[in-house]
Structure 1
Amino acid sequence: MSHPENKTLSKRIESLDILRGFDLFCLVFFQPVFMSLARAFDLPFTNWLATKFDHVQWEGFVFWDIIMPLFMFMAGASMPFAFAKHLKTGSNAHLYKRILKRVVLLWIFGMMCQGNLLSFNPDRIFLYSNTLQAIAMGYFISAVLLMHFKLNGQIIITAVLLLTYWAALSFIKIGNYGGGDFTPDYNLAEYIDRLVLGRFRNGTTITGGMVDFGTYYRYTWILSSLNFGVTVMTGVFAGHIMKSGLSNLKKVQWLAIIGVLFILTGQIWGLQMPIIKRIWTSSMTLYSSGICFLLMAFFYYLVDYKNYGKYLRWFKIYGMNSILAYMLFEIVNFTSVSASLLHGTEQFLGDYYKTVIQLANVSIIFLILWVMYKRKNFLRV
C-alpha cells in the first residue's frame, strides 16, 4: 500500500499539471481558433469578445494578459515539491548545475521561438525577448531564494524586489526617462533596455550605422526581471501552501484569500503605478498574481477537494509537455500540411476556410502532444 503522503503529493502535482495545461490550451488551441472565428463572424459581440483575447496596447488588463504570468506562476508553484526532493538527495553544487542547465536551455529555446536563432540572420540576434527567457530569470531568482532562505526570508526578499522595481521606476530619473513617467517611450525600464541591450534589443533596426529602436516594440526585460522573479515567487508561495499540512479545504481558502488581497492591492497600487503588462509594473505583478492564486484555488478545489480531476485530465496533454507545446506553436507552421489535407474546400467554406485551417494546425499540435503523452515522452528542461 502506498503512503498517504505520496497520494497527496501526486494529487497536488496533478492539479498543477492540469492548470498549466489549461493555460497552454488557451495559448496554443483556443485563442488562435477563436480569434480566426471572430474575424469570420465579424459581429459586434464577437469583435468585442475578441478584444479580451488580445493584449491591451498599454495600460489595463484583459483575460489574455494572464497567460504569460500564469505560465510563470505555475513554474514557481511546482518548485517547492521539486526542490524538496533534490535538496534531500544531492548537494547545493549538484542542484546549481541543474538550475543553470535549465536556465540556459530555456534561454536558447526562447531565442529559437523568437526566430532569432533559426533565421540564421545576424540582424535578428535579440538577446532577451521571450516568455521562456522571462521564466528562466524568474526561475533562477526563485531557485536561489528557495535554496538559501526560509519562508520568512523568501517573503521579505520578494517584497524588496517588488518595491525596488516600483521605487526605481517612480523616483529615478535619467534625462527624459523615469521619475514616475510610465509612458511607452520614457519609462526607466525602456531606458535600461536600450542602454544594456542596444543593437540586440528586439524591434531594433540599423539605419545609417545607428540603432533605430522603432516605435512598435515596447516590452522591457532587464529591469523587469526583478518582477519576473516576484511572479515566479508568488507561485512558489502557492506551492508552499499546497505542500503544507493544512486540509485541502483550508488550502483552497488560503489560496483564494491571498488571491483577492493581491488583486485589491494591485488595483489600489495601480492608481499611482498603472497596471502595465508590457513593462511588468509592480501593480500588474500583484494584480496578475492574485488572478493566478484564484485560478490555482479553483483548480485545486476541483481536483484535490472535489476529486473532479478525471474530467480535466486531458489538460495534462498540454500541461506535462508545456515547453514543447509552446515551442511547436511558436516555431512550426503547419499551414502547408493543413492546406494540403483540405485542398479544394475553400470554395465551400468561404470566410471560414482560414478558421478551419487554423483548427487543423492546432489539432496537429494536439495530436503530437497526445501521442507523446500516451508514450510518456516529456520534454524535461
Structure 2
Amino acid sequence: MNRVSNRLESLDILRGFDLFCLVFFQPVLSSLARALDNDILNTAMTQFRHVQWEGFVFWDLIMPLFMFMAGVSMPFAFHKHLHEGSKKFLYKRILKRVLLLWFFGMICQGNLLALDFSKIYLYSNTLQAIAMGYLISAILLINLDVRGQLIVTAALLLAYWGVMTFVGANGYGRGNFTPDGNFAEYLDRTILGRFRDGVKLTEGRLDFGNYRYTWLLSSLNFGVTVMTGVFAGHILRSSKITKINKAVWLLGFGILQLAVGLLWGLQMPIIKKIWTSSMTLYSSGICFILMALFYYVIDYLGKGNYFAWLKIYGMNSILAYIIFSIVDFSSIIHSLSFGLEQFLGNGYQPFVKLCSVSLIFLLLYFLDKRRVYLKV
C-alpha cells in the first residue's frame, strides 16, 4: 500500500467507471434480471454477457479498457525516469510490477489460495494479460521514440495476423478462426498443456473441456492493446496540444481504429477470446472514444466533481479487482439478513448481491479516505 500523487483525473474516473461496471453494476443487474425475468432487463443483459465467439458487446470491453488505461498512465509514470536516464531503476520497477501482477492473477484464479496444486494454471487471468502487455509496452517505451513504437506496434499486430492466417500444424490454423481450429488454440494446448486453465487429466489424457481463451500468441496483441493506451498517453501528456485538441485527436484516432477494426473483421473476425487483431483495433477504438469523452467532460469542462465517487474504484482498481475475484461477501449478508428471504421473495438474491458489492465499495471508500492505495 502506498500514498499517491496527483494524477490525470479523467483517467482515474474512467478506470473507476470500468471497475464499477465490473464489481458493482453488472453483478447487481444480472441478479435482478434473473429474479424478475423481465423482457427489457433480459434484452439489456445481452450487453453484459460475453459473446460466445464472434462479435463484440459492451461487456467484452471491460478487459481491453483495463489494459488500455494501464498504457495511458505509462508515459506519465516513465517520463521523469527516462528524462533522468535512470533505465536501471525502470527495469527493476517493471520486473517487480510484472511479477506482482502475475502473482495476483494466480491468486484471483483461486488455486493458490485453495492450495490445490493439481489445478495450478500458469497463464489465464486478466492481471497476467496486463502484465504481459505492460512488459512489452515498457520495453518499447524505454528504448524507442514514438515513431519506433508505432512501427513495432503495427508489426506485432500484423505478426499475430500473419501467424493466424498463414501458419498451420496438425490440422490447426491457416486462416481457421473456429474455437477448435485456430492456431492460437493449438499453441496453448501444446505449450501450456496440463497447466492451461480448464484442463482435466482424464484416464491419462488431457481433457481441454470448453475453455477457449488463448494467451500465448494473444500476448502479441495484449502488447498492442496496452500500446494503444501509451499512444493516448502521449497525446494527453503533450504540452504542444491544447486540451480541446487532445479530445479531438483522441476521438479521431478512436473512430479510425474502429473503422479499420470493422473492415479487418471481414477477413479476421472480431473475437475477444483469442484477441484477434481486428478485435484489438476495434476495442481500442472504443477505448480512445471513451477517453476522449471523459477527458473532454472532466479535464476540459471541469465537471469532475460529478463523477468523483468513481475515483474510489479507479484509484484502487487492482485491489477492487482482487477483492471482487476472491472474496464472497454474500455469506456475511446471508447471516445478517437471516429471515428476510420470506418477505423479499424473488428480490432476496438481488438484495444480497447489492449489499455484497456495497461492502466492497465501503472498504474502498474507507481506504480512500485514508489515502491508502495498492500499488504494483
Q: TM-score range by the shorter chain?
A: over 0.9
Equivalent in the alignment of 2:132: 137
Equivalent in the alignment of 2:323: 328
1:337 maps onto 2:332 in alignment: yes
- TM-superposed CA distance for 1:87, in Å, is 2.3
- TM-superposed CA distance for 1:86, in Å, is 2.5
Of 12, 18, 21, the residue aligned with 1:17 is 12
Question: Matches of residues 129-208 of structure 1 in structure 2 within 5 Å?
Answer: 129-208=124-203
Within 2, Cα distance between the matches of 1:276 and 1:112? Answer: 27
Question: Matches of residues 165-314 of structure 1 in structure 2 within 5 Å?
Answer: 165-214=160-209, 216-245=210-239, 246-314=241-309
Q: Which amino acid aligns with 1:102?
A: R
Of 91, 94, 110, the residue aligned with 1:115 is 110
Provide the secondary structure at the position in 2 that maps to 1:182: coil
Within 2, Cα distance between the matches of 1:256 and 1:370? Answer: 32
Provide the secondary structure at the position in 1 that maps to 2:206: strand
Within 1, Cα distance between the matches of 2:38 and 2:19? Answer: 27
Provide the secondary structure at the position in 2 that maps to 1:222: coil
Deviations 1:244-299 (Å, cap 9, x if unpaired)? 12111000000000000000100000000000000000000000000000000000
Within 1, Cα distance between the matches of 2:126 and 2:263? Answer: 27
- TM-superposed CA distance for 1:208, in Å, is 1.2
- TM-superposed CA distance for 1:90, in Å, is 6.0
Provide the secondary structure at the position in 2 that maps to 1:278: coil
Q: Which amino acid aligns with 1:240?
A: H
Q: Which amino acid aligns with 1:132?
A: L
Within 2, Cα distance between the matches of 1:340 and 1:37? Answer: 21
TM-score, with structure 1 as normaliser: 0.96
- TM-superposed CA distance for 1:89, in Å, is 4.7
1:77 maps onto 2:80 in alignment: no
Equivalent in the alignment of 2:351: 356
TM-score, with structure 2 as normaliser: 0.97
Equivalent in the alignment of 1:6: none
User: Aligned pair count?
Assistant: 371
Within 1, Cα distance between the matches of 2:178 and 2:78? Answer: 39
Within 2, Cα distance between the matches of 1:240 and 1:90? Answer: 19
Moved more, 298-307 or 90-99: 90-99
Within 2, Cα distance between the matches of 1:342 and 1:89? Answer: 57
Provide the secondary structure at the position in 1 that maps to 2:351: helix
Deviations 1:106-157 (Å, cap 9, x if unpaired)? 0000000011211111221000000000000000000000000000000000
Within 1, Cα distance between the matches of 2:103 and 2:363? Answer: 22
RMSD, aligned α-carbons: 1.0
- TM-superposed CA distance for 1:78, in Å, is 0.4
Equivalent in the alignment of 2:31: 36
Q: Which amino acid aligns with 1:332?
A: V
Provide the secondary structure at the position in 2 that maps to 1:118: helix
Within 2, Cα distance between the matches of 1:219 and 1:85? Answer: 37
Within 2, Cα distance between the matches of 1:22 and 1:136? Answer: 21
Deviations 1:339-359 (Å, cap 9, x if unpaired)? 122111101111110000000
- TM-superposed CA distance for 1:67, in Å, is 0.2
Within 1, Cα distance between the matches of 2:117 and 2:66? Answer: 30
Unaligned runs of at least 5 residues, structure 2:
none
Within 1, Cα distance between the matches of 2:183 and 2:283? Answer: 21
Within 2, Cα distance between the matches of 1:90 and 1:350? Answer: 63
Indicate the percent of aligned positions where both proteins have the same amino acid.
64
Deviations 1:352-378 (Å, cap 9, x if unpaired)? 100000001100000000000000000
Within 2, Cα distance between the matches of 1:270 and 1:90? Answer: 42
Within 1, Cα distance between the matches of 2:66 and 2:54? Answer: 21
Within 2, Cα distance between the matches of 1:354 and 1:96? Answer: 47
Within 1, Cα distance between the matches of 2:308 and 2:190? Answer: 46
Within 1, Cα distance between the matches of 2:160 and 2:297? Answer: 36
Question: Matches of residues 48-63 of structure 1 in structure 2 within 5 Å?
Answer: 48-63=43-58
Q: Which amino acid aligns with 1:58?
A: W
Within 2, Cα distance between the matches of 1:311 and 1:46? Answer: 27
Deviations 1:314-336 (Å, cap 9, x if unpaired)? 11100000000000000001111
